[in-house]
Amino acid sequence: MNIPKNIINNEVIAAEAASWVAQMDGGPLSSSDKLALTEWVSRSHLHEQEIRRLVALWGGVDQMLDDLLLPKSAPILAVLGAWFRLRPVQMTSVIGSLCLATIFSIFFFQADIQTEATTVSMTTYQVDRGSRKSVPLSDGSVIHLNTDSVVEVKISGQERRVRLLRGEAVFDVAKDPLRPFQVYAGSGRVEALGTSFLVKALDRRIELIVTEGRVRLDRLSYEDVSSELNLDIEPYEQVFVDQGQKVVLDKDIKSAVMLDKSAIAKQTAWLDGKHIFQNDSLNYIAQEMSRHSRRTIIVSDPDLGEMRMGGVFKLGEIDKFISALKVSLDVEVDHVAEDFIYIRRRSG
């Protein structure tokens, strides 16, 4: 099978850029390496475009790259001198690494075409209401699924794609600059190279909280996300979201909000099997408690439902929650069948 030359070139550039990013992440570059990187970037605008794309998602090395490229070009004689001043072993190692990156890139690309039928399937993971699950993936990443959640996952030699069909999940993404980790949900696409973030899907609306590193959020059409996933979908809008920030995507992307540690702990408390409530309405607390149980709590009095309260409860501890309400509030509790609990003000 003949592979178009431009596709092979793109794969080679991606492999070489990934190699440089990984090298920068490993520690300060030597003077010779800095000159070599400057020369590589200056060869083509595609080189600079690709390495900047990876650096923006990788996080932590963007300033290092900017410092290196402030002088946009280096004297060619100085660059060549730096290369040839390397000891023979170092020179062989550098060239060998780049050649291996190129060979592996082309090999995996060809293998993906030839074994296409074995890599297109997606694996579905589902968590029932009242349960949670952690799913380790073959690339070293882990998906933590909250109650009543469904995801489809595809991990191959070329891509890492997840579709969050329903619910909420935390993604601990293993670093891999060659295979961006993409999560499709609602009308959005979240892309990361190696980080940790939470996505909650609420119909076409999603909430994104980054707990570590940096990700990119793209606004797509709901139809694009709902249909067969296409890596070439062009976003209508995109933003970078940094650690500690929360962003909501509805009809458009809302401005990022910085969360403090307590707010993040509240949002991710379910990972530790508990609820944390802080000045929340009784309606909200009842809904959250019900999400993690097969029983449903209904606050039948509107005024009572707007009362604010707080506390820490284990997931699914409906009975302890009800007991706490009886002690702290003047309420009556009616159990209807086995699945519904109504809370109302005490009469008389």
Residues 108-164: pLDDT tens digits?
Answer: 445 444 444 344 478 999 999 999 999 999 999 999 999 999 999 999 888 899 999
Domain range annotation of the chain: 5-114, 121-262, 273-345
Give me the pLDDT at residue 13, please.
77
The answer to whether residue 67 scores a pLDDT higher than 80 is: no
- Strands annotated E in the chain: 123-127, 133-136, 142-145, 149-155, 160-172, 181-185, 188-192, 196-202, 205-212, 214-219, 237-242, 245-249, 257-258, 274-281, 296-299, 308-314, 331-336, 340-345
Give me the pLDDT at residue 125, please.
96
CATH 2.60.40.10 fits 121-262, yes or no: no
Please give the Cα distance from 100 to 169 (Å, whole number). 36
Q: For all residues of the chain together, what is the average pLDDT?
A: 79
Please give the Cα distance from 136 to 307 (Å, whole number). 40
User: Over the stretch 182-196, which tens digit does the pLDDT of each residue have?
Assistant: 999 988 999 998 899
Asked whether 249 and 261 are in contact (CB, 8 A), the reply is: no
| CA torsion through residues 318, 320, 323, 325, sign | negative
The answer to whether residue 220 scores a pLDDT higher than 50 is: yes
Highest mean pLDDT among 53-67, 76-90, 239-253: 239-253
Residues 6+ positions from 19 with CB-CB distance below 8 Å:
97, 98, 101
Q: Token pair of 143, please?
A: 């998906």
Highest mean pLDDT among 186-190, 197-201, 248-252: 197-201
Q: For residue 45, what pLDDT band results from cuts at 50, 70 and 90?
A: confident
The residue among 164, 151, 219 whose CA lies nearest residue 187 is 219
In terms of Cβ atoms closer than 10 Å to its own Cβ (0-12, 13-18, 19+), residue 70 is: exposed
Please give the Cα distance from 98 to 154 (Å, whole number). 28
Give me the pLDDT at residue 327, please.
81
The residue among 67, 57, 48, 55 whose CA lies nearest residue 23 is 55
CATH 3.55.50.30 fits 273-345, yes or no: yes
Model-level pTM? 0.70
Question: Which of 209 and 109 is assigned the larger pLDDT?
Answer: 209
In this predicted structure, which of 26-35, 108-117, 182-191, 258-267 has the lowest mean pLDDT?
108-117
Give me the pLDDT at residue 83, please.
45
Q: Exposed e or buried b for every residue in 18-36, given b needs 16+ CB within 10 A? A: bbbbbebbeeebeebbbbb
Percent of the chain beyond pLDDT 90?
Answer: 42
Q: Token pair of 268, please?
A: 């991710």
